[in-house]
Amino acid sequence: MSLCPTLCYSRPDEKGGIAIRRELAVNERIRAREVLLIDHEGKNRGVVPLRNALTLAREQGLDLVEVDPSANPPVCRILDYGKWRYQQEKKERESKKRRHAGELHEVRLRPNIGVHDLKFKVRNMERLLMEGGKVRVAVRFRRGREMEHTDRGYQLLDQVKELLQGIGVVESPPAMEGQFLSMILAPDRKGIVQRQLQKEEAKKSGV
């Protein structure tokens, strides 16, 4: 049984955003002497002493979580904390993806951007694409000498496209608009699913 001190979760506020996280006591952090216990099968065991509830949780190799501290007595549930937390985080990620799906975000680059800054920008683009959004990658040229070397911008966009291969696909090819050379990348759905599966497998194997 894990000994995580608190269990955190987020709930939507009235405007659809994320409210302040509530922290729920777990295992020995629960202070009540008696609790209304819901066991690991979802059965109501009634009001029992805290020590009995902890013993039942330990026997199942699970955690005792105070899911409703405001009740009298507080409601506690026996569950797998690690699995619960993973599911909640997954739900939050999916919710975030749905909110961002189809949104167009703009990321600006300079023709002479450094390697470190480019990697940072690409990681940001990767996150936006993984969340389901589209990305307008724009290279801004200063008027004068920079405008005479727009080929550097095309090379830069090709580099970005290559770095995001398997995550983003070109929806609108590079085109000049005033001082900006830009292209639009859309999420590569199949590639993103494959990337997520690889990450989950890596987590399971402890890599």
Domain residue spans of the chain: 6-95, 101-197
Mean pLDDT: which of 74-83, 143-152, 190-199 is highest?
74-83
Question: What is 6-95's CATH number?
Answer: 3.10.20.80
Length of the chain as a residue count: 207
Q: What is the DSSP letter of 20?
A: P
- The distance from CA 48 to its chain's CA centroid, rounded to whole angstroms, is 38
Q: What is the mean pLDDT of residues 99-120?
A: 87
Angle at CA 60, nearest 5°, toward 59 and 61?
Answer: 95
Q: What percent of the chain has pLDDT over 90?
A: 53
Residue 16 pLDDT exceeds 60:
no
The DSSP element (H or E) to which 199 belongs, if any, is helix 189-205
Tokens standing for residue 114: 């450094």
User: Residue 132: what pLDDT?
Assistant: 86
pTM of the model: 0.50
Band the pLDDT of 22: cuts 50, 70, 90: low
Looking at CATH, the fold of the domain delimited by 101-197 is given as Translation Initiation Factor IF3 (3.30.110)
